[in-house]
Each structure stands twice: as structure tokens, then as C-alpha cells.
Structure 1
Amino acid sequence: MVPVEEITRVFGDRAGKAEVYRDLLAGAGVERGLIGPREVPRLWDRHLLNCAYLGEVIDEGASVIDIGSGAGLPGIPLALARPDVQVRLVEPLERRYAFLREAITELDLRDQVAVARGRAEDVRGEFSASVVTARAVAPLATLYGWALPLVVTGGHLIAIKGRSASEEIAAAAGTLQAMGITETPEVLRVGPDEESGTTVVRVARGHGPLRSPSAPTTPKRRSPRARRR
């Protein structure tokens, strides 16, 4: 059972809106298959607070794109906890997109939160932000290629991951190198304590040019003399 004090600490005067969002997930979210029925008793700690804790590592006034937003996680809890940030939810599936639009209206967040239907690849070149977030979207090796092109120079990808985050970073090191990212990803723990906090991976976009991880390497051309040998 999550203490009321923790909900108030995280969401402040928007704790009431967080309660409304929790009820939306427990009702329409379950009915439309966005949230499993077994998750309802754990909505506060496993979903709302777990996502809202991201606000601890996001700069004041940041712009945020939440890719593969699903039922609005982590974008909506983050917006509720951080009224100073602007959030754009990106979700390709129609039923989820419709739920997100309804939730934004119900929570009166239209001045702070927008939603776009599509995949991360679809909005590339149309939207960008200082922070791109993701939760349960894809392994890092794949997520890097989807998310980092949406991050402005000097911004960050912040992905919610499990306790095997370090192993996942190691497995995806080659992808970062192929993209020209030289900064080492950070594993951060946010939240009140180790037991109830959230593990995130933060990757800096850096200031150099970004390459496609799947782009083939152009072979060096040999001189005519070399070809005749």
C-alpha cells in the first residue's frame, strides 16, 4: 500500500488528477486491454509513481517526447508530477492513441501534453525534444536507433529499465559506437529508496553528428594501380 504522503510528495497539488488517471487506467485502461487486470492493485507503485520518479533527472522546463507511450506511461505521470515540462506522447496503435486523447482531455492537460499517432521513425524530422523517454518499448540496441534521432543536441534519452540495465548497456555498446555516440550511458536509481525506486538508463545525445546504426560502411575505393595488381 503506497502511503498518501508519498503520492502527495510526488504529485503535489495534482495528486487529485493523478487519482483520476489511476481510475482511468483501472477502468477504461483494463477494458480496452491497455492494462492487465492483475496490475490494478499495483497501479500506484508499479506504474504511476514508478514513472513520475523520472522527473528527478529531467531539467526544469524541458521538452519531452515519450515514444511507444501505450496507456501514457511514463509521459502522463511525468507531466502530472512536473507541470513545468512539455510532453508529447507518440503512439502508433489507434485504440491506445484514442485513450491518450481522452485521458489528456479528462485530466485537463491539453496545454501541457500533446499526442501524435505514429512510430518514433514516423515523427523523425517533425518533432524533437531535449528528452526522449521510453518504458518497455525495446531493448537498448533497438531503442537507440528509434529514440536518439529525436533528441536535440545536448539532450538525453532516458529509458526505464530493470536491474539488468548494465548488461543491456554492454550488449548495445556496438550500436552506440556505430551511431557516433561517445558518451558512456549512465545507470541511475530514482525514487525514495532502492526498494521502491526506478532504474533508468540515461544516454547523452552529444554534439557530434549522429549516424544511422544500420547504415552500411562505404568501402574505401582502391586506386587504379591497386586494382591492376
Structure 2
Amino acid sequence: MFASERLPIAERYAELLATEGVVRGLIGPREAPRLWERHLLNSAVLAEAIPDGASVCDIGTGAGLPGVVVAIARPDVRMTLVEPLLRRTTFLEEVVDELGLDHVTVVRGRADDLHGAATFDVVTSRAVAPLERLLGWSMPLVSPDGALVAMKGRSVQDEIDEARAFLSAWRCGDPEVLELGVGVVTPPMTVVRVSWADPARIGWPLAREPKRRKPRPGRREPRER
């Protein structure tokens, strides 16, 4: 899960969540004692679904879950953290600087602010929205050969069924439900993976070829949210 040389970085991130994260209202006080079992370990197993050297975008990352955790566990990936709230992106930038996560970019904005500006091999999320709405935010960011990989609960099949029309209209492939972290976390983490049915005929034109500038480290939107 965490290589021996990465574990101290994960421990320091947990400390920051339990202190500054609580003070700033990013983590509830009751969550602090159970950060590892409820948040960090569950986020870390998401790395099982991410290819080597992938570009990853974590939308609605909040305090960095799962994006920061995946970046700690997987220094080979290029991680972009997308979050609209200033107090959260300020915290994330401080975390990235202190932990030396040079492969992580923090972007203040919403997922749809990046539509047409960048695409990624993997677009992740955790408890952001029901699948149908999540597809609308995420799939325009998924490269032709990439995939959405969203952390979900046991009711994920109901969300898939409700999103069938959307999946068909956008020419998405059949969703795959994966169990990650078997033997590592209890219960295993349930995720849904959605890719394009045919990379040459994807249903959202902005995902075919980014035309505008890519996000830069520390980029912030001019408006408060």
C-alpha cells in the first residue's frame, strides 16, 4: 500500500488532517481518531486501479481524499487536485509544499472549468455525486483511452441502472464494478470504472483533443466560491 519510504509522508499527512484539517473545518473532529481506517487506507487502495505513470485528476478532492493519498502511495503518477473552495485549496497547497509532492498540481475550480482544457488517463472522485451527474463532470476530462474511477458504496449498481441512458448517449462502455483492497481493508473498497466504448468515437467532443492551456500549479479562479 505504502512503500516503506513513503509511509512517513502518509503519517505526516494524517497529522495535518487531524490538526489543521480539523481547525479549518475540513475534517470533522470525530473523524480525526479514525482517519486511517475510514479515509487513508480506503483511499490508498484506489491506486490498484491506476496504471503506471498515469495522469490523474481527482475532482472535488476536498482535503485531498483520495488524491493526496494516491499521490503519496504512487509517486509515478501525475496528480491534479481540483477543488472549488479557497480554504481547501490553500490547505492543499500547503500540504503539497510540506510533503514535497512535486508531481501534484492544485487547481482551484470546478471540474467543468477544465472541460476542453485538459484530459487525463484517470479521473477519480470520492463521495462527490450520483453516477449520472458524476459522468457529466468527469467524462469530458477522460482521454480516449482513459477511464473514470469513482469510489462508491454497495448501492453502485442502482446508480449504474439509473445512468443507462446517459451512458448510451455518451457512448460510454459498460461500467465495471471492482472490489479493491481485498485482504487489506474491511470491507473492500467498491469502485466503478467507466471508459469510452470506442476511443475513436467518444460521445463528448471536448475529450478528444484538448485545445486550451493545461492547468498550472497553484492556478486559482478569480472569484470566491
Give the match's secondary structure for 1:12.
coil
**Structure 2: which amino acid aligns with 1:35?**
I
Which consecutive unaligned segments of at least 5 residues does structure 2 have?
A: 206-225
How far did 1:173 drift?
1.2
On the 8 A contact 2:123/2:147 being kept in 1, the answer is: yes
Does residue 49 (structure 1) correspond to residue 64 (structure 2)? The answer is no
Q: 1:16 to 1:196 in 2, by over 3 A?
A: farther
Does residue 192 (structure 1) correspond to residue 185 (structure 2)? The answer is no
On the 8 A contact 1:45/1:196 being kept in 2, the answer is: no
On the 8 A contact 1:135/1:160 being kept in 2, the answer is: yes
How far did 1:61 drift?
0.5
Higher RCO (CA 8 Å, separation ≥ 6 residues): 2
Give the match's secondary structure for 1:30.
helix
> Counterpart of 2:104?
113
CA distance in 2 between partners of 1:57 and 1:211 (Å)? 23
CA distance in 1 between partners of 2:45 and 2:68 (Å)? 12
How far did 1:180 drift?
2.0
Deviation track 1:169-209 (CA, whole Å, cap 9, x = no partner) reads 1111111112122x110110100337242110000134123
User: How does the TM-score come out when normalised to structure 2?
Assistant: 0.86
**Structure 1: which amino acid aligns with 2:85?**
L
CA distance in 2 between partners of 1:101 and 1:196 (Å)? 32
CA distance in 2 between partners of 1:196 and 1:20 (Å)? 25
CA distance in 2 between partners of 1:86 and 1:158 (Å)? 16
Percent of residue pairs identical:
53
Decide which of 138, 151, 167 is 1:160's aligned counterpart.
Answer: 151
On the 8 A contact 2:139/2:204 being kept in 1, the answer is: no
CA distance in 1 between partners of 2:75 and 2:163 (Å)? 33
> Counterpart of 2:203?
210
- Paired residues, number: 202
Give the match's secondary structure for 1:42.
helix
How far did 1:11 drift?
4.0
> Counterpart of 1:80?
72
> Counterpart of 1:100?
92
On the 8 A contact 1:91/1:118 being kept in 2, the answer is: yes
How far did 1:45 drift?
1.4
**Structure 2: which amino acid aligns with 1:61?**
G
Does residue 16 (structure 1) correspond to residue 12 (structure 2)? The answer is no
CA distance in 1 between partners of 2:178 and 2:115 (Å)? 27
Determine which structure has more spread, i.e. the larger CA radius of gyration.
1
Give the match's secondary structure for 1:43.
helix
> Counterpart of 1:145?
136
Decide which of 158, 166, 170 is 2:161's aligned counterpart.
Answer: 170
How far did 1:39 drift?
0.8
Does residue 59 (structure 1) correspond to residue 51 (structure 2)? The answer is yes
Please provide the CA RMSD for this pair: 1.4
